[in-house]
Amino acid sequence: MSTAFDAGNGKITVPDIASRKSSTPNSRASSSGNSQSNSEKRKIVCLTAYDYPTARFVDEAGVDIVLVGDSLGMVALGYENTLPLTMEEMLHHTRAVRRGVRKAMLVADMPYGSFHGDKREAVRNAVRFVKEAGAEGVKIEGGERRMELIAQLVEAEIPVMGHIGLTPQSMHAFGGFRVQGKSVEAAEQLLRDARAVEAAGAFSVVVESVPRELAARITSELRIPTIGIGAGPECDGQILVLHDMIGLSVGHTPKFARRYANVGEAIRNAVGAYADDVHEGRFPSDEESYHLSSEVRERLLAVRRS
Ligand code: KIV
């Protein structure tokens, strides 16, 4: 069993994340002079990771939360969507990420089907992420309809990150990957979802693919931090899929996924250069080869001659 490293020495914990909430209109009115102002609160930086090396690099770069997202299924395992991903696949990758993450808080995504039926089974599945894979919290897609489950998980000492807006596990119900909350009714539903997730005890909530103005309103209403993805800059933090932001994902990437590197092209170029070197006999060089001592070489030659 793998476990999280002890708190202290810069380890990011749930209370650290909660303390990064920009003040809400209500808390501003009642705040004493010694609380941090909004401009002093550092935004929460989150990224996904799915394996040991990327987890190490992402953690060493100083992110606050590493999410083993179920985007794993699409960007690293080649599924068409997130729906086929299993508990065992998620656990396997969460363990690998656990081994690479030292400072950031580690959150695991509950895959489709692992929390949609019996609540006791859902709690058991969430417990597996903590006990068997060292996660420090789980993420659950869905708003109002997940209230009871979120409360049960919190009761079982499992910190929960909510996820509202475009929840990819609802892709069939939504009719695809579409921006959510664009009509008055849809926006009101999203506000209800956000309030419900908070009331149930989630420590933060991902707000995905919603108009900036609505995400700002949700952020100003909630006491828990909002983590935006395609939800504008007013959220308390931001999350992206690592493979999208480093240019390692195959196929369409959404417009909010700013690309900071082109690792896919770097891999293609490196592999092309390697193949050319092999074909042309330039790889390996003599320096990249091991050598026999002159004594062994002599004796070997003698054996061959006799
Ligand atoms: O699966 C995932 O990576 C996610 C994030 C994009 C929020 O849910």
**Confidence class of residue 175 from pLDDT cuts 50, 70 and 90?**
confident
- The partner residues of 50 in beta bridges, in order of sequence, read none
Q: Looking at the CA of residue 168, tell me the nearest atom of ligand 1.
A: 8
Q: Count the Cβ atoms, other than its own, within 10 Å of residue 205.
A: 30
Identified catalytic residue from 132, 208, 295, 298: 208
Quote the pTM value: 0.92
**Cα 30 to middle of ligand 1, angstroms:** 35
**Share in percent of the chain as helix, strand, coil (round to 5):** 45, 15, 45
Q: What is the mean pLDDT of residues 240-253?
A: 95
Paired tokens of 109: 């995504």
First to last CA, the chain: 58
pLDDT reading at 5 higher than 70: no
pLDDT of 30: 44
Mean pLDDT within 117-132: 97
> Residue 287 C-alpha to ligand 1 middle, in angstroms?
45
> Is the CB of 235 within 6 Å of ligand 1?
no
| Distances, alpha carbon 166 to alpha carbons 50, 204, 293, in Å | 21, 16, 65
The question of whether 208 is a catalytic residue gets the answer: yes
| CB neighbours of residue 23 within 10 Å | 17
Ligand 1 pocket check for 109: Cβ under 6 Å: yes
Pocket test for ligand 1, best of 85, 208, 244, 245 (most atoms within 8 A of CB): 208
**How far out from the chain centre does Cα 286 lie?**
43
**Which mutation among 81, 227, 241, 242 tests ligand 1's pocket best, with the greatest number of atoms within 8 A of CB?**
241
In this prediction, residue 25 has a pLDDT band, given cuts at 50, 70 and 90, of low
CA of 241 to the centre of ligand 1 (A): 6
Would you say the CB of residue 229 lies under 6 angstroms from ligand 1? Answer: yes
Phi, psi angles (nearest 5°) of residue 248: -115, 5
Residue 37 confidence (pLDDT) above 90: no
Q: How far is CA 242 from CA 37, 155, 232, 259, 301, in A?
A: 30, 31, 18, 10, 54
Q: Where are the alpha helices (DSSP H) in the chain?
A: 14-18, 25-30, 52-60, 72-75, 87-100, 119-133, 147-155, 171-174, 184-200, 212-221, 242-245, 263-279, 294-305
